[in-house]
C-alpha cells in the first residue's frame, strides 16, 4: 500500500459532528461556497447568534409553537422523565435530559428536534463534490466553520486535506482559540483563513467570551508568518468593543499581520436570540441596539484611516 493509499484508507474511518451544510454561501469567502458548520466551541460570546454550536454533542431543540400538547407521545418516549406537561405545552427539564433524541424521533409535528448530527468524512466529501461546478465558475470552495472547527481538529484536518487533494479551495473560519500545533498543521491545507478578533483587551475579552485572547493573537501571527491569506472578522458590539481605544488597538495589531487582505466588520444583530429559547439557554446580552448605517460608516472610516481595506458584511 502506498502512503497516499494509506491516507485515504484512514480518511474513510473519520466521523464528525455538524449542525448543517449551507450551500450557495457568498459571505464566507470568495465565490460561491459550501459552508460546513461544525458543532462545539471553546468560547461563550455573550452576543453569539449560534448557541446551537456551543456543545460538542447533539442537543434537543423545542419549537413550542409547533407542539400538539394533547399528543403527549414524547412524554411516554422519554427514558429519563425529563418531559412533563405544562399548560398547553410540554416542559423540558434540561438537567434530566440526556439528549438521547427518542422524543424527537417520535414527535409528529417536529416540535422536538435533534440539533447536530454525525457524518462520515466520505459522506461529507460526497456532499461537497456536488457543488464543484459552482466552485469552478465562481472561484469558490468549501468553508469549514462552526462553532469552532478546530474543536474537531482531526476531522477538520481530514476534510481540508481531502479537498486539497481534489483541487477544492478551502477556507477556515476560526476564533483562533486552538493549540499552536494544530494551527500550524492545518495551515498546510487551507487557502484562506477567516479569523475573528473580538476584543484587544485580554481581561475584557475574558469577561465577554470566557477566554483570554493571548493564544488567539499568537495564532493570528502564526498564520500571517506562514503567509496564508487572512480576512479579519470583527463583530462590532455597541458598548462592548466599539470604543476608540479598542478600535485603535485593533487597527494597529491588524497592520502587523502581513497576510491580511481585508478586515470585515460584522454588525451586531439579534436574529439568533430565538435559538436560546429553543435550546433552553439564556442569552446574556440584552438591550444592545443594532448599529446604524451611519455609525458603521463612521467606524469603517476610522479603521480605514490606518490604511486597512475595510468592508461591512451584513
Look at residue 260 and tell me whether its pLDDT is greater than 50: yes
Q: What average pLDDT score do residues 264-272 get?
A: 93
pLDDT tens digits for range 90-134: 999 999 999 999 999 999 999 999 999 999 999 999 999 999 999
In a domain, 60, yes or no: no
Q: Is the pLDDT of residue 44 over 80?
A: yes
Whether 228 is in a domain gets the answer yes
Assign residue 95 the CATH number of its domain: 3.30.70.20
Q: Which domain holds residue 90?
A: 65-115
Are residues 121 and 190 located together in one domain of the fold? yes
* Residue 10 confidence (pLDDT): 45
Q: Return the number of other C-beta atoms located less than 10 Å from residue 129's C-beta.
A: 14
pLDDT value for 140:
97
153 and 217 within one domain: yes
What number is the average pLDDT over the span 197-224? 98
For residue 9, pLDDT beyond 60: no
- Tell me the percentage of the chain whose pLDDT exceeds 90: 87
pLDDT one-digit tens code per residue, 85-97 = 887 789 999 999 9
Whether residue 213 is found in the same domain as residue 236: yes
Distance CA 96, CA 81 (A): 7
Does 200 share its domain with 140?
Answer: yes
User: Is the peptide bond preceding residue 147 cis, with omega within 30 degrees of 0?
Assistant: yes
Query: What is the band of 289 on the pLDDT scale with cuts at 50, 70, 90?
Result: confident
The yes-or-no verdict on residue 3 having pLDDT over 80 is: no
Residue 13's pLDDT is: 54
Same domain for 38 and 73, yes or no, is no
Q: Are residues 139 and 106 in the same domain?
A: no
Same-domain check for residues 306 and 231: yes
Averaged pLDDT for residues 38-48:
96
127, 133, 156, 230 from 33: Cα distances, Å: 12, 11, 16, 17
Domain boundary residue, one of 115, 137, 156: 115
Number of independent structural domains in the chain = 2
Query: Which pLDDT belongs to residue 228?
Result: 98
Beta bridge partners of 22: 35
Q: Does 264 map to a domain?
A: yes
CATH code for the domain in which residue 287 is found: 3.20.20.70
Q: Is residue 209 located within the same domain as residue 80?
A: no
- 140-178 pLDDT, tens per residue? 999 999 999 999 999 999 999 999 999 999 999 999 999
Which cell is 128 given?
Answer: 461537497
Query: For residues 128 and 34, is the Cβ–Cβ distance under 8 A?
Result: yes
Q: Please, are residues 238 and 291 in contact by the beta-carbon 8 Å criterion?
A: yes
Q: Predicted confidence band at 20 (pLDDT cuts at 50, 70, 90)?
A: very high
Residue 220: inside a domain, yes or no? yes
Mean pLDDT rounded to a whole number for the chain = 93
Amino acid at each position: 500500500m502506498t502512503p497516499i493509499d494509506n491516507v485515504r484508507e484512514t480518511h474513510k474511518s473519520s466521523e464528525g459532528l455538524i449542525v448543517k451544510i449551507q450551500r450557495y454561501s457568498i459571505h464566507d469567502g470568495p465565490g460561491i461556497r459550501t459552508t460546513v458548520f461544525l458543532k462545539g466551541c471553546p468560547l461563550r460570546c455573550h452576543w453569539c447568534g449560534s448557541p446551537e454550536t456551543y456543545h460538542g454533542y447533539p442537543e434537543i431543540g423545542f419549537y413550542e409553537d409547533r407542539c400538539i400538547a394533547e399528543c403527549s407521545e414524547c412524554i411516554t418516549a422519554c427514558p429519563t422523565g425529563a418531559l412533563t406537561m405544562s399548560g398547553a405545552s410540554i416542559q423540558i427539564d434540561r438537567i434530566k435530559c440526556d439528549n438521547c433524541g427518542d422524543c424527537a424521533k417520535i414527535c409528529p409535528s417536529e416540535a422536538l428536534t435533534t440539533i447536530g448530527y454525525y457524518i462520515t468524512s466520505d459522506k461529507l466529501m460526497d456532499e461537497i463534490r456536488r457543488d464543484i461546478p459552482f466552485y469552478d465558475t465562481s472561484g469558490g470552495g468549501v468553508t469549514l466553520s462552526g462553532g469552532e472547527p478546530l474543536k474537531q481538529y482531526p476531522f477538520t484536518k481530514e476534510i481540508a486535506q481531502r479537498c486539497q487533494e481534489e483541487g477544492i479551495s478551502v477556507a477556515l473560519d476560526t476564533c483562533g482559540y486552538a493549540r499552536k500545533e494544530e494551527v500550524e498543521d492545518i495551515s498546510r491545507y487551507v487557502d484562506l483563513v477567516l479569523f475573528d478578533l473580538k476584543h484587544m483587551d485580554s481581561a475584557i475579552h475574558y469577561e465577554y467570551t470566557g477566554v483570554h485572547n493571548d493564544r488567539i493573537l499568537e495564532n493570528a501571527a502564526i498564520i500571517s508568518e506562514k503567509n496564508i491569506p487572512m480576512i479579519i472578522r470583527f463583530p462590532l458590539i455597541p458598548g462592548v468593543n466599539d470604543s476608540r481605544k479598542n478600535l485603535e488597538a485593533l487597527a494597529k495589531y491588524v497592520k502587523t499581520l502581513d497576510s491580511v487582505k481585508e478586515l470585515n466588520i460584522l454588525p451586531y444583530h439579534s436574529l439568533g436570540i430565538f435559538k436560546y429559547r429553543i435550546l433552553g439557554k439564556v442569552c446574556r446580552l440584552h438591550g444592545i441596539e443594532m448599529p446604524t448605517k451611519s455609525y458603521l460608516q463612521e467606524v469603517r472610516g476610522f479603521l480605514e484611516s490606518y490604511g486597512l481595506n475595510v468592508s461591512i458584511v451584513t
